[in-house]
C-alpha cells in the first residue's frame, strides 16, 4: 500500500513488512503488551522509504521486468513526484495472462506438441478452421530441454476430441488442458 504525504509518495507498506514489524510468534509478551506496542507503532516505522516506482508511460513489459528484478508485487505509478496509481502483479495477471490463457472465457485450451514453427502453425490453423472452431488466443510455450517448442491455442468449443484426433493424424500430438 503506498504511503502518501501531501500527495507525494513517501514510502510503501506490504504485508511482509507489517508481519516483520510485529513481535515474533515465540515472544513472551502478553496480549496486552503486544497490543500496546502495536498501538504505538506508526506507518512511518514500517514503510519502505525507497519504493520502486514506475512512470505512467512505461511499457507493461518493462514494468513487469522491473517488478520481477526487484522482487516486488506492487509498483506505485508516479508522475511529477505525485502518486497517480498503483500497478500490481495481480493487475498484470488479470489484464494480460488471463486473456492470453483464456481464463474465464468459454472454450478449451489445447497444447499442441511441435506446433510452434511457421509451417506447423499454418497447418494447425487450417485444421482448426476446418473443424469449425474459432481461435480465441494462441501462444508458444517455452521449449523444454531436448524438446521442440509447443503451441497453445484456446478455441471457442468445449468438445474438441475430434480436433485433437485430426491434429494427431497430421503429426501434432495434442493435449486438452482441463480447467
Q: What is the mean pLDDT for each group of 10 consecutive residues in the chain (179 residues)? A: 86 80 68 73 84 93 93 92 90 83 85 84 93 90 77 91 95 86
Q: How many whole angstroms from its chain centre is CA 28?
A: 40
Of the three residues 47, 62, 95, the one that is the final residue of a domain is: 95
pLDDT at 42: 82
Number of domains in the chain: 2
Q: Residues 19, 67: one domain?
A: yes
Say what the pLDDT of residue 179 is.
Answer: 64
Looking at the fold, whether 16 and 54 belong to one and the same domain comes out as: yes
Give which of 48, 39, 61 is closest to 2, Cα–Cα.
48
Are 80 and 108 found together in one domain?
A: no
Neighbours of 110 (CB within 10 A): 24
Looking at residue 76, its pLDDT comes to 94
Which domain CATH number covers 48? 3.10.580.10
**Are 35 and 111 in the same domain?**
no
Give the separation between CA 126 and CA 122, rounded to whole angstroms. 6
For residues 8 and 65, state if they share a domain: yes
Residue 107 Ramachandran class (φ > 0 left, ψ -120 to 50 alpha, else beta): left
Do 136 and 159 share a domain, yes or no?
yes
Structural domain for 117, as ranges: 102-177
Instruction: Give which of 6, 5, 7, 18 is closest to 85, Cα–Cα.
Output: 7
Decide which of 95, 123, 140 is a domain's last residue: 95
If asked whether residues 11 and 85 sit together in one domain, one would say: yes
Same domain flag for 42 and 9:
yes
The enclosing domain of 112 has a CATH number of: 3.30.70.260
Tell whether 81 and 11 lie within a shared domain.
yes
Q: What whole-number distance in Å separates Cα of residue 39 and Cα of residue 163?
A: 62
Q: Determine the pLDDT at residue 26.
A: 65
CA torsion, ordered 33, 38, 39, 41, to nearest 10 deg: 130
pLDDT of residue 23: 64
Tell me what pLDDT residue 24 has: 64
Amino acid at each position: 500500500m503506498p504511503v502518501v504525504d501531501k500527495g507525494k509518495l513517501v514510502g510503501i507498506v506490504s504485508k511482509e513488512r507489517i508481519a516483520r514489524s510485529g513481535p515474533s510468534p515465540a515472544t513472551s509478551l502478553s496480549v496486552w503488551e503486544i497490543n500496546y506496542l502495536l498501538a504505538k507503532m506508526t506507518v512511518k516505522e514500517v514503510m519502505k522509504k525507497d519504493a520502486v516506482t514506475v512512470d505512467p508511460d512505461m511499457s507493461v513489459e518493462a514494468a513487469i521486468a522491473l517488478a520481477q528484478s526487484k522482487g516486488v508485487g506492487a509498483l506505485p505509478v508516479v508522475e511529477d513526484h505525485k502518486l497517480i496509481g498503483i500497478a500490481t502483479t495481480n493487475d498484470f495477471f488479470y489484464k494480460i495472462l488471463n486473456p492470453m490463457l483464456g481464463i474465464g472465457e468459454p472454450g478449451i485450451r489445447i497444447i499442441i506438441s511441435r506446433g510452434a514453427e511457421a509451417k506447423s502453425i499454418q497447418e494447425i490453423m487450417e485444421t482448426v478452421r476446418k473443424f469449425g472452431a474459432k481461435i480465441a488466443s494462441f501462444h508458444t510455450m517455452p521449449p523444454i530441454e531436448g524438446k521442440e517448442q509447443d503451441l497453445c491455442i484456446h478455441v471457442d468449443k468445449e468438445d474438441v476430441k475430434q480436433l485433437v484426433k485430426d491434429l494427431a493424424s497430421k503429426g501434432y500430438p495434442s493435449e486438452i488442458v482441463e480447467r
